[in-house]
Structure 1
């Protein structure tokens, strides 16, 4: 079915292309104003880019329904659905002057950046992992040699481990 008039986001005017652009900007604005931008970091998602796909239908009466979301985490999926359900009533698409339902599919990217506290926690964990490896190495030397490893030997192994491993 070829749409004569595309659905219109409230407040949009102009040519068919202007209406499409304005519709996209309206959805972007909806997300900027309502999406919990802290959520990706709260979910401890690794730093990087994540694709989210939203499918929905604008009914003949202009309501947004049948929101389907594909996201990298169930809570992100819930949040995207919540925001989409806040969509204002649209002006329905038309075919031969009759209002019709129109399906939409919108992909977008969520950029997750490591916060200062996450970076600090990751570095602390890396240091602890290194210390644990050093302590295990000393323990194995102790077992291998059959005697207590002196403090000087510990510092020597620690130095080697931190500078060469």
Structure 2
């Protein structure tokens, strides 16, 4: 039986995803990637999500349902700040279906994640946002988020990852 988290918005509830939600989670990931013009980069499969989210539990997913229909999701995991000496919550993905935007679902999800951050005694809640995504940037700033302009994200993947792994140590 699904355990729902009531919100201040009538008809909108949150819940932690269950293993039966793997295909729904993958659909949300693909919808987000399509919105970000990155759909060809999605390699995740249902089996990989099932393994990482529910067997290894490396991340968690919140599903937002409006009148029992899934309309939003957030995928997050714990990271660690050596400066704070505490873990934090890193929000990897937050997505509200385009036809459901403007109802406050995203704000409610962020608010819930902020409360979860505090409840878990974490030092911060953070995420990345694409530079071109002005609607999201405005939304995040309105919520009190501050862009970390002095930081540049670096990533090593695919062949470069293997090359680095095989370089001399």
TM-score normalized by the length of structure 2: 0.26
**Could you say which structure has the greater relative contact order, defined with CA pairs below 8 angstroms and 6 or more residues apart?**
1
Kindly name which structure, 1 or 2, has the bigger radius of gyration based on alpha carbons: 1
TM-score normalized by the length of structure 1: 0.27
